Amino acid sequence: MNLPMEAKILHAELINKLSGHLDPSVGLEFEQFRNSLSVHLMPAEMSKSESLFSLLNNLGKKGKFGAGNYSVLKSLITNPHILSIIESYEQKINEILFPERVSKSTASMETDGPPNPLRLTEQDLQRLASCFGSGWEMFVGQLGVSSEKVDQKKIENPAHMPSQVYNCLLVWFRQCPKRPTITVFDQTLQNSLDFCSVNMDKYENLKRDIENR
């Protein structure tokens, strides 16, 4: 695709902003991100990549990163603030690249009635995922995520449970015909507490934030 200049500029702006959060000088945040990329990059590519730019460049060569193509990147990010930055630029770029999709989406939203503040966002899922402990696989299974998908997300995000949970929640979120609500999420969770460990104090605070926004 021959990218419009405006999309290229926004993409470059995004990389520049991300470098402020995922630069090697940041330390732990960068190392966690770099380690999570080991699923997508070969060891030789990893060893030669000592900066965010080189990591993203190698990811781009595999067709897994580019203007508007941020699915893999988002699956590796655990910081809600960084995720919101990516989603903001993704929306702007997609409005340029796929204006017909945006118009259809807008029309669909208009026919669905007024916005429902209880509807979850991907950022909400990121925060909710941090509440789960052992047995979370059973919970996402209750939401309709297959065991094959669960295993896949575990392999893609080894040794980091919140990322595993978040990416499984994304599978559920994206396969729903309409954006799901915290009400549906909560009903399923309440029915899963016998076999799923959850930090309920943290969860109730997050749930309250979503319900009151």
DSSP for 23-82, please give it. Answer: -GGG-HHHHHHHHHGGGTS-HHHHHT--SHHHHHHHHHHTTS-BTTB-HHHHHH---HHH
Residue 6 pLDDT grade (very low, low, confident, very high; cuts 50, 70, 90): very high
Domains of the chain: 5-101 (1.10.533.10), 122-212 (1.10.533.10)
Question: What pLDDT does 52 receive?
Answer: 86
DSSP state of 177: S
Query: Could you give the CA distance from residue 7 to residue 130 in angstroms, rounded to a whole number?
Result: 33
- pLDDT tens-digit readout, 9-58: 999 999 998 888 877 776 667 777 888 888 788 888 887 777 888 889 98
- pLDDT tens-digit readout, 110-167: 444 455 768 899 889 999 999 999 999 999 999 988 999 999 888 888 878 998 999 9
Nearest to 93, CA basis, from 13, 17, 173, 19: 13
Tokens 């402990």, residue located: 133
- Per the model's pLDDT, the better-predicted residue between 62 and 79 turns out to be 62
Helix (H, G, I), strand (E, B) or coil at 85: helix
Secondary structure percentages of the chain, helix, strand, coil, to 5: 70, 5, 30
Residue 101 pLDDT grade (very low, low, confident, very high; cuts 50, 70, 90): low
How many residues in total does the chain contain? 213
In the structure encoding, which two tokens stand for residue 7, read together? 């999309």
Read off the amino acid at residue 15: I
Query: Could you give the CA distance from residue 102 to residue 91 in angstroms, rounded to a whole number?
Result: 9
Residue 197 pLDDT grade (very low, low, confident, very high; cuts 50, 70, 90): very high
Please tell me the pTM assigned to this model.
0.55
Query: Could you give the CA distance from residue 147 to residue 154 in angstroms, rounded to a whole number?
Result: 11
Provide the angle, in degrees to the nearest 10, between the axes of the packed helices 200-212 and 182-190.
160
Query: Do residues 196 and 132 touch, judged by C-beta distance below 8 A?
Result: yes
The answer, yes or no, to whether residue 210 has pLDDT greater than 50, is: yes
In the structure encoding, which two tokens stand for residue 180, read together? 């799901």
- Distances in whole angstroms, Cα of residue 165 to Cα of each of 49, 76, 161: 28, 12, 6
